[in-house]
Protein backbone atom coordinates (compact mmCIF):
# COMPACT_ATOMS: atom_id res chain seq x y z
CA UNK A 1 0.00 0.00 0.00
CA UNK A 2 2.80 2.38 0.86
CA UNK A 3 4.62 1.62 -2.39
CA UNK A 4 1.44 2.26 -4.33
CA UNK A 5 1.17 5.70 -2.73
CA UNK A 6 4.80 6.46 -3.56
CA UNK A 7 4.20 5.37 -7.17
CA UNK A 8 1.14 7.59 -7.55
CA UNK A 9 2.96 10.61 -6.13
CA UNK A 10 5.95 9.97 -8.38
CA UNK A 11 3.77 9.74 -11.49
CA UNK A 12 1.96 12.97 -10.58
CA UNK A 13 5.25 14.79 -10.07
CA UNK A 14 6.68 13.53 -13.37
CA UNK A 15 3.53 14.49 -15.28
CA UNK A 16 3.50 17.97 -13.76
CA UNK A 17 7.22 18.40 -14.52
CA UNK A 18 6.73 17.31 -18.13
CA UNK A 19 3.76 19.66 -18.56
CA UNK A 20 5.75 22.60 -17.21
CA UNK A 21 9.04 21.96 -18.99
CA UNK A 22 8.11 20.53 -22.37
CA UNK A 23 5.94 21.79 -25.15
CA UNK A 24 3.42 19.22 -26.37
CA UNK A 25 5.10 19.10 -29.79
CA UNK A 26 8.43 18.22 -28.18
CA UNK A 27 6.81 15.48 -26.11
CA UNK A 28 5.10 14.04 -29.19
CA UNK A 29 8.31 14.08 -31.21
CA UNK A 30 10.19 12.42 -28.37
CA UNK A 31 7.51 9.76 -28.05
CA UNK A 32 7.53 9.12 -31.78
CA UNK A 33 11.31 8.84 -31.72
CA UNK A 34 11.21 6.32 -28.90
CA UNK A 35 8.58 4.23 -30.70
CA UNK A 36 10.61 4.35 -33.93
CA UNK A 37 13.76 3.33 -32.08
CA UNK A 38 12.09 0.38 -30.39
CA UNK A 39 10.61 -0.69 -33.74
CA UNK A 40 14.00 -0.55 -35.46
CA UNK A 41 15.64 -2.58 -32.70
CA UNK A 42 12.82 -5.13 -32.82
CA UNK A 43 12.99 -5.53 -36.60
CA UNK A 44 16.79 -5.80 -36.51
CA UNK A 45 16.56 -8.43 -33.78
CA UNK A 46 13.99 -10.38 -35.75
CA UNK A 47 16.05 -10.27 -38.93
CA UNK A 48 19.19 -11.32 -37.06
CA UNK A 49 17.56 -14.32 -35.37
CA UNK A 50 15.16 -15.66 -37.98
CA UNK A 51 15.84 -19.06 -39.52
CA UNK A 52 16.86 -18.53 -43.13
CA UNK A 53 17.11 -21.66 -45.30
CA UNK A 54 20.45 -22.24 -46.98
CA UNK A 55 20.21 -21.49 -50.68
For 12-54, how does the pLDDT look when each residue is reduced to its tens digit (9 = 90+)?
887 887 776 667 778 788 889 999 999 999 999 888 888 877 7
**Residues in CB range of 30: below 8 A, 6 or more apart:** 22
Residue 4 CA, chain-centre distance (Å), reads: 22
Query: What is the structure's pLDDT at 42?
Result: 92
Query: What is the structure's pLDDT at 14?
Result: 78
- How many angstroms separate the CA atoms of 54 and 48, rounded? 15
Give the pTM: 0.51
Query: What is the structure's pLDDT at 55?
Result: 64
Amino acid sequence: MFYSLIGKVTVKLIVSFVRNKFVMRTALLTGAGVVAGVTVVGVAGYLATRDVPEG
